[in-house]
Amino acid sequence: MPVYKAPLRDMKFLLNDVFDYPGHYQSLSSGGNATPDIVDAILSECGRFCEQVLSPLYQSGDEEGCQLNNGLVTTPKGYKEAYSQYLAGGWQGLSAPEAFGGQGLPTSMGLFKQEMMGTANWSFAMYPGLSLGAMNTIQLHGDEQQQQTYLVPLTEGRWGGTMCLTEPQCGTDLGQVKTRAEPQLDSSYRLSGTKIFISSGDHDLTENIVHIVLARLPDAPRGTRGISLFIVPKFLPDGQGGVGERNAVHCGALEKKMGIKASATCVMNFDGATGYLIGSENRGLECMFTFMNTARIGTAIQGVGPAELSYQWALDYARERRSMRALSGKKEPDQDADSLIHHADVRRMLLTQKAIAEGGRAMLYYAAKLADHMVEANTQGNHKLADKYDNKLGFLTPILKGFLTEMGYEATNLGMQVFGGHGYIREHGMEQIVRDTRIATLYEGTTGIQALDLLGRKVLLSTQGGAVREFTFKIANFARKQLTNKQLRPMAVELLKLTAQWNFLTVRVMLAARKDRDAVSAAANDFLMYSGYVTMAYMWLRQATVAVDKLANGGTESSAFYQTKLHTAEFYYERLLPRAQAHATVSVHSTT
């Protein structure tokens, strides 16, 4: 069975050399304890936990899956023990406020943890991952009593969390939500309705599950303006930090899925369940976006993680498996055939996986700094500054979610291709990575929905192209500084051209949309993919710039490490970035 190895060298290269996280943490009120030594220790210990505890459960969990018996959901063998170790390590509260029992470290530290966990075993990582979204929602929008009641056990991991949006008659179109919330004399509500596709809807890992539920009040307006948000616990709190009587919410069925079979995806029935309003009436969707944006960034990890895992396993296989001779001549004359890695097309596939995984990781870490600043501003009550960073992060979120999951799925298919026929066989694990990754392009909004969010909402409606102008200005300024370097100049010139073209495409769609709004939908997917390729190109130029400097002046890693970074950047620009032009061409044709 293949094993996962935490890519700590690549992670630290980004943290310390590319994005200067040590300096970044010094600027945060929550970063005082995030010293380089502490960060290294946390990353190393989390890597060990993922390698030794979570990774061995990846394939066995897929084969066993979750079970529903007598209304109770059980997780696969080993999951409860792994979750106990997860809690003992204090991982759930890593970035949670100290006031609720957390360690108070920056938000980004939680993302680094989640990346390793999601790469080692995505099904397991979803259970605590959904809880983080519930915690963020209650922290930002819950009243003081709700925070005191729910955030401590959620932070400790004794309770889990979910988000309950989708219903049988509606997916992304939440204006069709029918779940009803009837007000009660004690200020609570009775919720009735059915939710589907609810990840972690029921399981045996925690003593309670806190459902964050969208529902309608009796006099609510039609559409999305009439949706409110509620807390509906599986067991009602007993007022002393524990659980009391069972609430009227139950798992009616487990979805039979293509992948992530060890993650309990439930049909949840609310039969007059007791719930409590979060935020204002009919403002639920606004509050829910806190949860949804958290989930979308988390889902972007499911593009990077599987690409990394598939690459690791494919690379090991390509080094060991022998087949035919290299076209350039025998590479291992004492063997009957050469290793797969000596074949140029196999190296192409491996380099594509590597470029996607490491370029995608850089995109995530870049966004994580914005998230840190946003949380810092909210904590200090500086709502204007928080909105500024929220807008920056909001622009990147659909790119991260849409582009990275599409590219991650491509990478997993390439890994399966490296294995050939063996990749199609379950014992090698490659087909499982493909199956598990397929959902990432669908849930939390399909790629098409992310594309409409990016182009329609974030670029055209909210900023009239300003979001693209601001981001490309930042990219162009960085690229211009590299024009004097002979090794970096070709990449810098290409990136400058693309930033100009990105603005041209934005204006082109904006003008076309004045005559025909369908032009936005027609161009959106290609616009998103173009945006993703250019953003990843920016990340690779940043990595290449550091690599060139370290090769000249020395660094903590070997010259071979930095040379490989530079070669991978060049590969991305030469072999993957040209795809952006095809998307640009289609975007233009979509507006005519």
Under DSSP, the state recorded for 216 is B
Instruction: With beta carbons less than 8 A apart as the criterion, state whether 174 and 158 touch.
Output: no
Distances in Å between the alpha carbon of 284 and those of 76, 291, 497? 34, 11, 42
Q: Across the strands, what pairs with 189?
A: 183, 275
Looking only at the bridges linking them, the beta strands covering 243-246 and 265-278 are unpaired
**Lookup: tokens for 437:** 């990754």
Can you tell me the distance from the alpha carbon of 521 to that of 479, in angstroms, rounded to the nearest whole number?
Answer: 31
Question: In Å, what is the CA distance from 543 to each residue of 366, 443, 486, 491, 503?
Answer: 12, 31, 16, 12, 24
What H or E segment, with its residue span, contains residue 194?
strand 189-199
Say how many C-beta atoms besides its own lie within 10 A of residue 467's C-beta: 20
Cβ burial of 274 (10 Å; 0-12, 13-18, 19+) is buried
Whole-number CA gyration radius for the chain: 24
Rounded to whole angstroms, how far apart are CA atoms 110 and 45?
13
**Assigned token pair, 293:** 């944006």
Catalytic: which of 444, 470, 494, 574?
444
- In this structure, are residues 482 and 473 in contact, taking their beta carbons and an 8 Å threshold? no
**Closest by CA position to 412, among listed 493, 491, 308, 492:** 308
Would you say how long the chain is, in residues? 592
Active site residue 115: no
Q: Name the residue among 158, 162, 244, 166 with its Cα closest to residue 211.
A: 162
* Rounded Cα gap, residues 213 and 178, in angstroms: 12
Token digits for 24? 């970044």
Residue pair 392/520 in contact (Cβ under 8 Å)? The answer is no
Q: What is the DSSP letter of 576?
A: I
Q: Which of these, 279, 27, 35, lies nearest to 143 by C-alpha position?
A: 279
Active site residues: 444
